[in-house]
Structure formats: structure tokens, C-alpha cells
Structure 1
Amino acid sequence: MKRRWMFLFLMLISLLFLSGCWSKKELPELAIISAVGIDKNEEGKFVKTHQFINPNNVAGGLQGGGGGQGPSVSVYTSTGDNILEAHFRASTKVSRRLYHSHANLLVISEEVAREEGIQDILDAFERDPEIRTTMTIVIAKGRKAGDIITSLTSIDRIPAEKVNKTLETTEKMFGEHIKVSIQESISILESSGRELVITGFRQKGDSEKGKKLENIQNSELDATLEADGLAIFKEGKLIDWFHDEDARGVVWILDKVKETNVNIDWEKKKDAIAYQVIRQKTKVSADVKNGKPAITIHVRAEGDIREVVVPVDLTDPKVIANIEKGLGKEIEKELKDSINLAQKNKSDIFGFGETVQRSYPDAWRKMKNNWHDVTFPDLKVNVKVEAFIRRTGLRTNSYLSQMEINR
């Protein structure tokens, strides 16, 4: 009997620690934000563009039916002397409570990133307890951030999801872009041995037509959103853009390439052999002698032959070895070109300084204050690349070889 009363007493006491539903948030009371854009107007005030989800027009639409006939998102803009003021001014236009917890995309205009930098913007977003620091950041290249936010998209009905999924896909399959979050950006900004790099997004086409529902009702869109280049930063400000192989060289060194394709010339024909990288590993090490640092990069790539436009005997081990050698030289060139370009910009986007710091902390303390402007531009970097061919596709020799024999 005593045990029963003791058990009942403990249950009653535990009720005091239950929070209940005091912080409940009903869906009809919330304006769910999916993306935020940051610009500046001619008066120097921040312009904050909010992309809100229209639940009635999204429900079921992702599976191909059941959604409403209107746009899947609505967009409102507000201005303020700082990010917080612009946020609260938006509440004068929206009938519901602004809800940031589902926002997964922050777009900053190229103009703001160049002139103002992004430190203050990230500070405002990190301090808000409702905002997730896993939110993805992109730079609006050559356009206002609001243009990216207001552009409707077809396959992914929510534009913020389209941008995030595009980043994930192109990072995995193309190797020229990377997905960066607020948390990762702040960590890099705090480092004295690494600078920030963020993927750029641009709107291609007519921005006014991109805002209209008719844009996604056509088989060919009047305005589309595309990943375009890597924005290179120094001390929190955008200073340059890397494109194509230069951008991929950065991703190689950061060890973020999952899959990509590499073309090499063969028998005087340009881009005659296409090689698909299916796995790779990049290792970066540092060495300091007589107070001078040096970096060594070792890349090991494995992949398949995916296209051949000249007759070549892929059954010959010597030919395979020569192709592998050519692939290694091509990848090595890409890495060296990216390093040279970064050194001209005096921006260590690769984190070589962090590598020196981990291996030689005492030496790093002497050089960290002048790392980006003095040491990094003249840093000696050794690059070694090994490329291996694992398969040649569904056939070995191309039918082009047989055609050559029959002539």
C-alpha cells in the first residue's frame, strides 16, 4: 500500500515539470518563411525580401496534383536601417506572425557582398533563436537578391527548395559549386587561416516575367535560376569570381568533389576523351623549413571512360597508362590555375593557413598576421595527382576503331 501511495505521489510531483502547450504555434497563425533576400536601396537602407509559403497551393502539388491554382509562394519586401528593423517592418504588411524556423535559404546580393561585406548580416541571423544556422547562403550574381527570391520555378514549386536541390545536385555531379551554411560561413570568418567561398546564383531571362505564374506554365521558362561560379571573399567582402575549371580546382582542393567529368586531348583532337570521376580523395599537408612554409596536395582519382570520339585501343595497357597520365596532368593544371588565381587575389580560400596552424602552431603564430597579404601570395605549393581508369563503359574499343580498320 505504501508503495502505491509513493508511486502516486511521484506522478503528481512530475506534473509540475510538464511544460504543456504554452509555446504552441498554430499553422493558421503563422506566415512560414522559406527564403530571405538581402539588398540595399539608394538611400543605403537594407531591403529584406521574404518568400512565404502558400500552404493551400503547395499541398499535394509536389506529387503532381492536388495543389491550388495560385503561386506556391508570396513575396513581401521591407526596409530598415538594419536587418532587425527591416524584419519587424515586414509585420506591417503580413497578417500572420513571421516564422523563420523553416527558412532554408539566404540570398545576399553581389552589391552588398562587395561593398558592405556579409559579417553584419550573418551576425543578425545567428543571434535570432528562431533561425537555423544550417540555412544555405548563396550570392545573387549580377542581380538583386530580390530577383532570385521572387522568381517562380517549375519542377520544385518552392523556389528556395529549387536552389537548395540544385546546389546539392551540381555539387555531387558537376564539382564546380559547393553548398555553404550560415554556421560554416561564420566558422570560416572566425579563422585567421582561411577565407570564405560561396556559390553564386543568377537569374537568366526576364525578371518581371519570372514573377508571374505564366512563367511556370510554359514548357520553356522566361526566367530560370542557375548556379553560376564561386564568389571569393577576403575579410568578409566579395573580391572576385571563379568559374569553370578554376572553380572546380577550388572544390578539388577542399576535398568536396564527389563526381565530375574531365576531358583530355588525344591525337591532336581537342577534348577527345571524356573521363568521369566516381570517387576521389584530396590530402593537404604542410611543411615548414627555416621559417618558410610549403604545402603539398595529393589527389587520388578513380573513374570511368564515358566518351571517346577518336579511334583508340582501350584494350592496350600502355594506352590506358598514357590516358591516365594525361588525366593526371589535366587535373594538376586545374588545381595549379586555381591556386595561382587565389594567390593573385591574396585570399587563402583553401585553408592552407589552417593546415600550417595544425601542424606547426609555433611557426603559425609568427606568420598569421601577414598570412594572406605576404606569405600566401608567394607560398610554394606542390601538386601531385594520380588518376586511375577502372572501367571503359559497356564496351572496350569504340566502333570508331573498327570503322578506321575497314576504311
Structure 2
Amino acid sequence: MKKISWLILLLMASLFLSGCWDRYDLEERANILGIAIDVVDEEAENFTIPEITYRDKDTLAGEEENIYKLTAQLAVPGKIKLGPEGGGNNTSDKTAWVVQTAGFSMKDAMANLQQQLAEKLYLGHLQIIIINEDVAKIGLDDINDFLKREYEVRRTAWMVVSTGKAEDVLRAAPPIETVPSLYLSDTLENALRFGKLPREYLGKFWIDLADIGIDGVLPYVKLIEQERILVNGLAFFKHDKMAGSMTPFEIGVFLGMKEKNPGGYGMAVSTDDGGVYILESYQRDSNIELKIKNDVPIASITVEIEANVEEQSNVKNITNRKIKEIEEEASNVATKKYNKVVKKWQESESDVIGIGARVRAKYPEYWQQEVKTTDKWAEIYKQMTIEVNVKFEIIRTGMEFK
């Protein structure tokens, strides 16, 4: 009797077990690894918008007509190299499939892309989103809105801005690499590890956009010889629109004021005796002090850098006096360069180091009475005084010391 009762109980319990009712096998998914977004020039590119689009020119309702060309790189199941024994001599043509479409919005373009595929689109493995510079200057609001709504998209994916066509960057990979999207993602991860880039993943960029008084940055890349990617700096934004770009050295300036380590970028200084020294930062510390004077905020930024002498020319040995001279010269050179970069950000009204967020936190009454809106802050930020003072300390010379 007990056995029968337990059997009935198990049968009843099974009714409440749903199982994997919504699962998809790997072969039933179109796994997107990378997306490139450009602006379509229908006449120049001889590219036609698919008829299946759910939007047309009559539904724009006064919106600016910008048509996205979306290039998606999909993984070919079973062909991606997973180790030294896997993949064989597969090239990127065999391991990844590139599909293109267009649309009036990201949702529109993705709907058109789905129409071309038998498998369900899956964004859980998305590694990188490449935005053409022209698209970034128009604004990323629509793109960000789509990606945020797609719960499958990982916040640790990379979003980058390209100087040329985004689709060309997406296809780029050296002959030894099998999946271009993974190569691009690895390139950025290594740049982050070597101190060449800040940790500006997709999720961090969204946090900066949502925060009041701070603007976002994204890696700025350039294609070289159709197979290599140059980290060409950082694209900085005013709200969701690209306002300008930094050079690779200016990334070091940004990292210094944000207290990001390790160093990553060197700086050359020369002394009166003809010696030339390459200094590379080892540790950075930054302090931002704020004051309100005559209803206008004033910022003073002190950056302290511990550095190593990585290279020297025209010098046989180094003394305590010479170290002091190098430190003083490096501090002067860096202070000028840092202030120049800050001025560049101010002219573009891009508050990438978050001065506004600090003012809002320290002086909430001032913000409520005098600032109120982000547009008003942009005006104040552009005119306010921001002074940067850089102090170098050499901790290792790597040379004969006397």
C-alpha cells in the first residue's frame, strides 16, 4: 500500500515539473559573436533596404532618416577552435559566417536579419559591438536601448568606435586567427591588461551615461592592412553622442586622473646635458579638490605618479641630483600636457572624469539651485577653472647609480 501511495505521489509531482520547455539546441541557434553598425548610403553602396522591414519612411514621424547597415558575424557550430587539437587548419571563412542587412532602427535591422535565418538569433555569446564614427556622432540612444532590452547581451561585452567602416573592422583578423570577433575581443582584453585601456565594458559605458554629471568613453580603433587592429585612442561622449577622441598618449592622461593602474604609456623627457629618458608610470594616485567661488565651481587635480626609467640615451650613469632634475622636468612636461587634454574635454563639453558628479555629491544645494539640468552643467563645466598639477617620483632607474 505504501509503495502505491509513493507511486501516486511521484506521478502527481511530475505534473508540476515543466522541464526545459523553452530550450534550443546549439544547432538551432544563430550565435552572434560580433555586430558592426554603419550608416547606409543606398546610392553609393548599391544597397537596398529589405522589403520585410516593419518600418518605412512614412512612419518616421519627423525623425532624422538614418538607415543602419548591420553586419553580424555568426559562429559556425563545431568549427571554432577550442584547443590545440580542435579546428585543424580552419580559417575565419570556415568558422564564422557574415550576414548583412539594414533597417531604420536596431530592432528593425535585427528583425530583417532574423528573416534571413532559419535559426533563432542568440546574443548570449556577443563579444563586441563596433560602431562607425559617423553613427557615434549621430547618437547611440537607439542602439543602447535595443541592447539593454535584450537580456541575453552580457554587460562585459565590448563596444568600440571605428574610424573607418565598422564592417571592415569586424572582418579583420590575422591569418593565424580563426574567429575575427574573438580576436578583436582578445585584442582589447590584452590592451586592458597591459594598461593601454580603461575597463570600459558595455555595462560601464551605460552606467556613465545614466549617471548625472559624468560622460562616457569607448575604445577608438582603426583597421591596419585589413588584418590588424590599432587601439587608436578613446572616443569621448557628450551624453550619447561622440564629441571627440583622445590619442593613445591622452589615454594615459585619462587613466592618471582616474587612478587607473598599471601605467601602460611612457613619456620622454630631456635634460640640459643632452640626456633623454623614457619614463613609464608604475603607480598613479589622483586627488580632486572642489570649491565654490562666486557661484562657480573650481577644481584642482593633483596626480602623483611613481615611475620607472625604462630607457636612457646619451647618459652613462645617474646621480641623486640627476634624478631630481628628471622628476622636475617630467612633472613640468606632464602638467602642461594634462591641462591641455582637460581643456580639450571642456571645449567639447564632455565631463569624462566626472567633475559634475563630484560637485553634485559635495554641494547638493548648489546643484539644485544653480545647475538643475545636465545642459546647464555643460555650460558651467565648459567655463569653469580646472587646474591639474602632476608630480613624478622615480622609484627605479634600471641603470648604474652613483
TM-score range (shorter-chain normalised) is: 0.7 to 0.9
Pairing 1:192–2:191 present: no
1:220-369 aligned at under 5 Å gives the runs 223-260=227-264, 261-267=266-272, 269=274, 272-311=276-315, 313-314=317-318, 316-365=319-368, 366-369=370-373
Unpaired runs of 5+ in structure 1?
211-222, 402-407
2:279 is matched by which residue type in structure 1?
Y
Partners in 2 of 1:292 and 1:337 — Cα distance?
21
How much has 1:56 moved relative to structure 2?
3.3
2:150 is aligned with 1:128: yes
Residue 115 of structure 2: SS of its match in structure 1?
coil
- Distance, in Å, in 1 between the alignment partners of 2:262 and 2:78 is 38
Contact 1:107 1:140 in 2 (8 A): yes
Q: Which residue of 2 aligns with 1:216?
A: none
Q: Which moved more, 1:377-386 or 1:272-281?
A: 377-386
Residue by residue, what CA displacement relative to the aligned partner does 1:3-55 show, whole Å, maximum 9, x if unpaired? x9999999888766654222322112122111111112125422111111224
Q: Is the 8 A contact 2:260 2:284 kept in 1?
A: no
AA at the equivalent of 2:389: K
User: 2:39 aligns to what?
Assistant: 40
Q: Tell me the number of residue pairs that the alignment of Structure 1 and Structure 2 aligns.
A: 374
Which amino acid is the alignment partner of residue 335 of structure 2? Answer: E
Distance 1:144 1:255 in 2: 33
Cα distance between partner residues in 2 of 1:14 and 1:49: 47
Are residues 1:159 and 2:163 paired? no
Deviation, 1:276, is 1.9
| Greater mean alpha carbon deviation, residues 368-377 or residues 20-29 | 368-377
Number of the residue aligned with 2:113: 90
CA contact (8 A) 2:140 2:240 kept: yes
Q: Deviations over 1:126-146 (max 9, x none)?
A: 0012222332110011x1211
Give deviations 1:54-94, integer Å, cap 9, x for gaps.
2433234x537643534232110111222112112212333
Map of 2:168 onto structure 1:
147
Deviation of 1:313 after TM superposition, in Å, equals: 3.5
For structure 2, the residue ranges without an aligned partner over 5 or more in a row are 43-65
Q: 1:57–1:67: 8 Å Cα contact kept in structure 2?
A: no
**How many percent of aligned residue pairs carry the same amino acid?**
24
- Aligned counterpart, 1:214: none
With structure 2 as the length reference, what TM-score do the two structures score?
Answer: 0.83
Residue in 2 that maps onto 1:180:
200
CA distance in 2, matches of 1:9, 1:309: 87
8 Å CA contact retained: 1:254, 1:282: yes
Matched, 1:391 2:390: no
Aligned residue among 221, 243, 266 for 1:201? 221
Per the TM alignment, residue 251 of structure 1 is displaced from its structure 2 partner at its CA by 2.6
Structure 2: how far apart are the matches of 1:37 and 1:318?
A: 54
* Residue identity opposite 1:164 in structure 2: S
Q: Answer whether contact 2:160 2:218 (CA < 8 A) is retained.
A: yes
CA-CA distance at 1:291 after TM superposition: 2.0
What residue is the counterpart of 1:379 in the other structure?
384
Identify if the C-alpha distance between structure 1 residues 379 and 7 changes in structure 2 by more than 3 Å, giving closer, same or farther.
farther
* Equivalent residue number for residue 57 of structure 2: none
Contact in 1 for aligned 2:105/2:142 (Cα 8 Å): no
- Give the Cα separation in 2 of the matches to 1:14 and 1:274: 72
CA distance in 1 between partners of 2:114 and 2:253 (Å): 44
SS of equivalent residue, structure 2 residue 350: coil
TM-score in terms of structure 1 length: 0.82
Indicate the residue corresponding to 1:213 in structure 2: none
Taking a change above 3 Å as real, the CA distance of residues 24 and 329 of structure 1, as seen in their structure-2 partners, is: same
Does the CA contact (< 8 Å) of 2:215 and 2:237 recur in 1?
yes
The 3-state SS of whatever aligns with 1:94 is coil
Give deviations 1:116-162, integer Å, cap 9, x for gaps. 20011100110012222332110011x12111112233454322222
* Paired AA for residue 186 in structure 1: W
Contact 1:52 1:73 in 2 (8 A): yes
Name the amino acid aligned to 1:63: P
Tell me how far 1:109 sits from its aligned partner.
0.7
Q: Is the 8 A contact 2:218 2:235 kept in 1?
A: yes
Whole-angstrom CA distance in 2 between matches of 1:286 and 1:349 = 16
Aligned equivalents of 1:371 and 1:97: distance in 2? 45
In 2: Cα distance, 1:243 partner to 1:113 partner: 17
In the alignment, residue 37 of structure 2 is paired with which amino acid?
A: I
Closer/same/farther in 2, CA of residues 125 and 21 from structure 1, 3 Å limit: same
Q: How far apart are the structure 1 equivalents of 2:306 and 2:25?
A: 51
